[in-house]
Amino acid sequence: MAKFSYTARNKTGKILKGEMDASNQREVAETLKKDGFWLTNVHEIKQKKKARASFMDRFKKVPLKNRMIFCRHLAVMIGSGLTLSKALSILSVQEKNKVLKTICDKLATDVKKGISFADALEKFPNVFSSIFFSMVRMGEMSGNLEEVLKVLSDQLEKDHKLLSKIRGAMVYPAVIVIVMFVIGILMMTFVLPKITKIFEDFDAELPIMTQIIISTSNFMANNSWKVVGGIVVAIVGVHFFMKTAIGIRIFHKFYIKVPIFGSIVTKVNSARFSRILSSLLKSGTSLVDSLRITSETLGNYYFKRAVLQASKEVQKGTTLSDILEKHSNIFPYLVVQMIGVGEETGKTDDVLLKLAQFYEDEVDQITKNLSSIIEPVLMVIIGAAVGFFAISIISPIYSIMDSM
């Protein structure tokens, strides 16, 4: 696929200009013809090859908090009158993270050579996202790099707080589930085989539930390494399957539909979509490019696909609210309506910022109450599991006692 810039005209003389991803110029012409436009001019946009992260770079991570502080400090230094290269050199000396320290050194060297800051950042795609490159490039072109860096630091701070709250809320239920799983395996492997010897000595007829538990327990006790190996293989297999195209679609659909967590996923992606799109529009990026860049930053496949499609349909003159309305199964009704209001008033970026704040507050409230919501559900599950084991093991014992 290549990117083409085109100019087209319809029967009434209306001129349409834009960009389109297509295999060749003929495909561009055919696509426009379907919409009632005839191609008058087209040329391919030569795109720079993106720097690829090396194999070792994939293991070099810079925490979100460090990137946030990097942006904030760099904005302050530039605002104080320091040159960009000098500010980067100072940050390199102060930085404790070895990876970011090395990156700051390389950035300072590139800037001194006359390479633009955005192009220098683009050499580290594993650390700085596409939104970072794009906004910095806009800041350099407009001479407003300090404000752009402040916006980026605010965005990173919001992301950091949001992720911290979600992870914090998930710690308690995750620990409970893991402990329950481990105890279950230990019970089945070491404790139950000793109890079931009583049933063998009395040669009693056992209920079907008890027989299933005893058979499972015996298998786990006699094949403990196979069981452990099977669990490890299953976990690794699921992990790799989740990264395949089919796995991503299945699991990301599940994330949206599952009760409680589906609401969090929808609101987190809506908040991120609104805030990033607002930041890009405020920085002067076109709506088409803003949507394309925003799609790359969204975590859920279906949100990413919807926004990427929106970036293509906007070129045809369709309003963003009308496009998102087609994806009402993932985008909340409020997002569609508020964006429509923003388009009518010409204040889409301000409306998106308010939407982001609203959904971030919603996620904050849900994560605060998440433990209290999950706790009774976990207690019911644990109670049901304990009750099942108790009935399966104790009821045969009572039957044996009665027959004596």
- DSSP assignment of 166-229 equals HHHHHHHHHHHHHHHHHHHHHIIIIIHHHHHHHHHHHT----HHHHHHHHHHHHHHHTHHHHHH
Q: What token pair was written down for 124?
A: 């580290």
The string of pLDDT tens digits covering residues 73-114 is 998 998 888 888 899 999 988 888 888 899 999 999 998 888
Contact 185, 157 (CB under 8 A): no
Q: Which pLDDT belongs to residue 361?
A: 86
Q: Which pLDDT belongs to residue 339?
A: 92
Q: What token pair was written down for 402?
A: 């009665």
Flag residues of the chain having pLDDT under 50.
48-59
Q: Residue 83: what residue type?
A: T
Contact 363, 267 (CB under 8 A): yes
Rounded-to-integer distance, Cα 282 and Cα 284, Å: 5
DSSP letter (8 states) at residue 56: G
The string of pLDDT tens digits covering residues 327-339 is 888 899 999 999 9
Could you tell me which of 48, 77, 51 has the C-alpha nearest to residue 145?
77
Q: Which pLDDT belongs to residue 338?
A: 92
Q: What's the Cα-to-Cα distance from 172 to each of 169, 175, 254, 367, rounded to whole Å?
A: 7, 5, 22, 12
Q: Which pLDDT belongs to residue 399?
A: 66
